Amino acid sequence: MTESDPKPRLWIRDPLAILAADAAGGVVVQGSRIVECVSAGARPADPVDETFEAGRHVVIPGLINTHHHVFQTLTRAHPLAIDKPLFPWLKALYTVWPRITADAFRLATRLAYTELLLSGCTTAGDHHYLFPKGLERSVDIQVEEARASGIRAFVTRGSMSLSERDGGLPPESLVQDDDTILEDSERVLNLFHDRAPGAMVQIGLAPCSPFNVTKRLMRESAALAERHDCRLHTHLGETLDEDAYCLAMFGQRPVDYLEEVGWMGPRTWLAHGIHFNDAEIARLGRAGVGVCHCPTSNMTLASGQCRTCELEAAGSPVGLGVDGSASNDSSNLMEGVRHALMINRLTYGAERVSHLDALRWATEGSAACLGRSDIGRIEEGREADLALFTLDELRFSGAHDPLAALVLCGAHRADRVMVAGAWRVIDGQAVGIDAGALREAHTAAARHLFGTA
């Protein structure tokens, strides 16, 4: 086939089930996009070049992760931090994270991207705020690793500028001054931020949280985002300690702080968003501010329960995130979907939240948080980002509704994953990744970090 020839057409045919309207016969993929949804019993309107028989597969849109800290794969389930709430957990790990090297960070990123792909995730959002000496080019490493793995990446250039000396939480070794942060933020936006439909890499700006940065940095990040047409992200409303901190430091609650620094708008999505009152939820909804629900992390740290239904009713997009692998201890978004269903049923009742709601948060809702209208659904014209699961394990035996079974019976590993029309997971294995070698190298890096290599 020459360069002038049209791209081949692949028919993903007759799936066991598919999360799409009028597509029981599957979908046709050409290039990076879905070009046709096929009705039950029908054939594609135009000839296809290849057919993938999907009769064993449940097909859903590729999951979209909207909050993570991939460096934390190096500090999972460590005795320094387990069994602690957020602030003590952070202070314990702040003693370790300054020792992360560029090589270790590369392995952490590669491992997290691979985990996400294997869980059916096709877009990896990360909130990276760790820039000690030697990690100044962290965003560059994440972009390189995303391109190598084939995953779609939304990397946010995070930051911390208030150390313990300034009334913040992190040590001096983990903070940068505002000017350094803003200069590098503009650098990575110019290098990597792609605003075109189908973009494989996008950049956002993400000062870590109100208790770790200055108001000047928040305001100037908002202005920079406006100039570069990018998104804004931060932690907000995660714990009651944060509320108390904002009242003590700024004389205002976190949402008031957000409005004062110019972040109350549809460019912004927030991580966690647990402790908002009714009036604050209404304000966030009117402004179109998105919220990333992180159910696994919230339960692990006992932070509280995000008011997902009220936020959506008010007008806020709600997405899902795995959050960092030291407060989740996994980078598996499909498990996060199940956790979202369970904790929200506990909050709202069995009739109020279904498996389809949880899947929607991880797909359409997450896409809305990232400002993407080209991913998150299976329909003609959207990017061909797909996750295909089989129901061959004992856990699924006896299940009658295949889509419900994915969530209720605990699917956690995809059999096939497609990103932008290319297979990135085949037969449960990430393409081009030696998982055994990666695990060995990553484990050695984690042990070295704690001096146990």
Contact 135, 106 (CB under 8 A): no
pLDDT, tens digit (0-9, with 9 covering 90-100), for 409-430 = 999 999 999 999 999 999 999 9
Phi-psi region of 398 (alpha: psi -120 to 50; beta: other; left: phi over 0): left
Average pLDDT, the chain: 95
Residue 304 has pLDDT above 70, yes or no: yes
Contact 64, 371 (CB under 8 A): no
Q: How far apart are CA 402 and CA 15, in angstroms?
A: 11
Query: Which residues have CB under 8 Å from 302's CB, separation 6+?
Result: 85
pLDDT, tens digit (0-9, with 9 covering 90-100), for 96-120 = 899 999 999 999 999 999 999 999 9
**Is 102 in a helix, a strand, or coil?**
helix
DSSP 311-364: HHHHT--EEE----TTTSS---HHHHHHHHHHHHHHHH-TTT--HHHHHHIIII
Q: How far apart are CA 256 and CA 259, in angstroms?
A: 5
pLDDT bracket for residue 162 (50, 70, 90)? very high
Q: How far apart are CA 131 and CA 42, in angstroms?
A: 54
Tokens 């009658």 identify what position? 400
pLDDT, tens digit (0-9, with 9 covering 90-100), for 196-212 = 999 999 999 999 998 89
The domains located in the chain, with CATH, are: 9-61+375-430 (2.30.40.10), 63-369 (3.20.20.140)
* Percent of the chain whose predicted confidence (pLDDT) is above 70: 98
Q: How far apart are CA 113 and CA 332, in angstroms?
A: 10
pLDDT bracket for residue 452 (50, 70, 90)? low
Residue 5 has pLDDT above 80, yes or no: no
pLDDT bracket for residue 1 (50, 70, 90)? very low
Q: Which residue has the higher pLDDT, 450 or 88?
A: 88
Residue 373 has pLDDT above 80, yes or no: yes
Contact 274, 239 (CB under 8 A): yes
